[in-house]
A = this chain, B = another copy of it.
Amino acid sequence: MTASLEVVSVQPTTDQLRYTFGGGDPLITVRPGTVVELATEDCFGGRVRSAEDLPSQVCEFPYLNPVTGPIAVEGAEPGDTLAVHLVEIAPARDWAVSATFPHFGALTATHNTAMLHDPLEEVVWVYEVDRQKGTCLFRPRKGGPEVELPLDPMHGTIGVAPAGGEVFASITPGAHGGNMDTPEMRAGTTAYFGVNVPGGHLSLGDGHCRQGEGEVCGTAVEAAMRTVVVVDLIKGGGPAWPRIESDDFLMSTGSTRPLEDAYRVSQHDLVTWAAELTGWDSLDAYQLVSQAGLAPAGNVVDTNYTMVAKLAKKYLGSSAIVADGVHDRLRETAAAYLAQR
């Protein structure tokens, strides 16, 4: 490892897990550019381990969806940008779980989409995780074919402390990030968050071995993770909503309701971002995004819904570089870390 590569480890005890964004002291403070190796628990706090462990019985509100953090970043001030590069997201166990949860999910009555129906049956699925093969095994509970699904690990929940002194449950996504539950939050990407409080206060958790777009039943293939991130700071330029950059795509997120407003927020941000990067007028950027943009759902089950707006970087021309090329630089840091680990 090069002398310049600072690596810290964050392995919270159960008592140190947090259940909100905002509202608590940082667990650790790091310098910009630090590589952070961290452990995250699954959304059930590791309490659902077999088909008999019904979440509504073994979990206790509000101790759901624990996050690891907050990680404060030295020098981060409101208006700045936290750049969080996801180096690696590795399932910590050889199993993972999913479940229906009473009155939670997109195809059931919920506390907000209130109806007179009884809840759907609460069912747990345990997945075998084969880290060598890179698969997780779906076993239907009532017969029919089993399916081997490729691992595509991601974090459902990642974000910073909200503005204005607000404190949100970790299950809520919003302008601060949080439980966006988008499969785009995978290793190799850089997420950008606007800083609202000194230090920014990054937290993450809710690892998924994989997840469909929308997370329709309300839970993914939930797993504890061993995750490595590089946390960097960009002075100024804090985006209003979380953004993601991969090698090939720029992505904007919007997390609100109804789902068309989440779509509007994400597309509006992508249009604005594309205009800034290229010099296009906003109507020209609106036109280009209309023809070349993608719009996958993040989640359609949480307290806010998330849409992602996605544009291939190749359509923006070679001069469209985000924050002086921070993504490429963090890619190099990640490569250096992985090479020397």
Residues of chain B lying within 8 A (CB to CB) of residue A117: 108-109, 115, 117-118, 120
| A121 on the B face (CB < 8 A) | yes
A282 contacts across to B, CB distance below 8 A: 116
Task: Choose one: B115, B140, B295; the contact of A296 (CB below 8 Å).
Answer: B295
Kindly state the separation between the CA atoms of A169 and B151 in the bound complex, as whole angstroms. Answer: 39
Chain B CB within 8 A of A214 CB: yes
A167 and B165 contact, CB distance less than 8 A: yes
Chain A 147-172 residues near chain B, CB threshold 8 A? 147, 149, 163-169
Chain B CB within 10 Å, residue with most, of A105, A117, A265: A117
A147 partner, pick from B23, B254, B257, B315, beta carbons under 8 A: B315
Number of A residues near B (Cβ < 8 Å) is: 94
Q: Report if A75 contacts B (CB, 8 A).
A: no
New contact pairs (17) apart from A212-B289, A219-B290, A263-B297, CB-CB < 8 Å: A19-B165, A23-B165, A98-B291, A100-B287, A108-B116, A111-B240, A113-B113, A114-B265, A114-B268, A145-B316, A145-B317, A213-B296, A215-B290, A216-B293, A218-B290, A264-B300, A295-B300
A210 to B163 alpha-carbon distance, docked (Å): 31
Can you list 20 A-B pairs, Cβ within 8 angstroms, ordered by A?
A23-B23, A62-B164, A100-B287, A107-B116, A107-B286, A108-B116, A108-B117, A114-B267, A115-B117, A120-B283, A143-B280, A145-B278, A147-B317, A164-B169, A214-B295, A216-B267, A216-B286, A217-B289, A260-B305, A295-B297
A334: interface (CB < 8 Å): no
Which residues of chain A (190-232) have a CB below 8 Å from chain B? 210-221
B280 near A144: Cβ-Cβ < 8 Å: yes
The reply to whether B260 and A115 form a contact with Cβ atoms under 8 Å apart is no
Do the beta carbons of A216 and B290 come within 8 Å of each other? yes
Is A141's beta carbon under 8 Å from chain B?
Answer: yes
- A259 lies within 8 A of chain B by Cβ: yes
| A4 located at the interface, meaning its Cβ lies under 8 Å from any Cβ of chain B in the complex | no
Interface of A toward B, CB cutoff 8 Å: 19-20, 22-23, 61-62, 98, 100, 105-109, 111-118, 120-121, 123, 125, 138, 140-145, 147, 149, 163-169, 210-221, 240, 254, 256-261, 263-265, 267-269, 271, 278-284, 286-297, 300, 305, 307, 315-317, 319
Q: Is the CB of B212 within 8 A of A294?
A: yes
- A219 neighbours in B (Cβ, 8 Å): 290
Chain B residue numbers with a CB within 8 Å of A125 are 287
Q: Is the CB of B107 within 8 A of A293?
A: no
Given contacts A109-B115, A147-B315, A165-B167, contact A140 B265 (CB under 8 A): no
CB < 8 Å neighbour of A261 from B114, B164, B220, B319: B114
CB closest residue in chain B, given A280:
B144
Residue contact B142 to A100, C-beta cutoff 8 Å = no
Question: Could you say which of B141, B218, B300 contacts A284, with CB atoms under 8 Å apart?
Answer: B141
A20: chain B residues within 8 A (beta carbon): 164-166
| Complexed CA–CA distance, A4 and B129 (Å) | 51
The reply to whether A116 and B267 form a contact with Cβ atoms under 8 Å apart is no
Cβ-defined partner of A257 (8 Å) among B211, B216, B258, B317 = B258
Residue of B nearest to A124 (CB): B287
